[in-house]
Every structure is written in structure tokens, then in C-alpha cells.
Amino acid sequence: MSDSKLATYLAENPKMTGVLFTMLMMLSQAGGVAARCASNYGP
């Protein structure tokens, strides 16, 4: 079974797993914030 390059990299650098997880969580929250800000405009 061959691992992907990303899986191999993350296995060799465990701190980057936390960084990647944090970035994904922040990006998932950014969409909701942008939607709320866009809905405030209007007459």
C-alpha cells in the first residue's frame, strides 16, 4: 500500500498536522462570517 506524499509528509512532521487542521477550521468559519457580513447590506 503506497501512501500519498501529503500523508508521508504529515507523518514525518506531526506539528504540521495541527497547523493544517487549524487552517481548515479557520477557513470553514470564514464562509459563515462573509455570508453574515454580506447580508447586513441593504435598504
Q: pLDDT digits over 19-34, tens only? A: 999 999 998 888 777 7
The structure's pTM equals 0.59
Could you tell me the pLDDT band of residue 38, with boundaries at 50, 70 and 90? Answer: low
> Cell numbers 512532521 correspond to what residue?
13
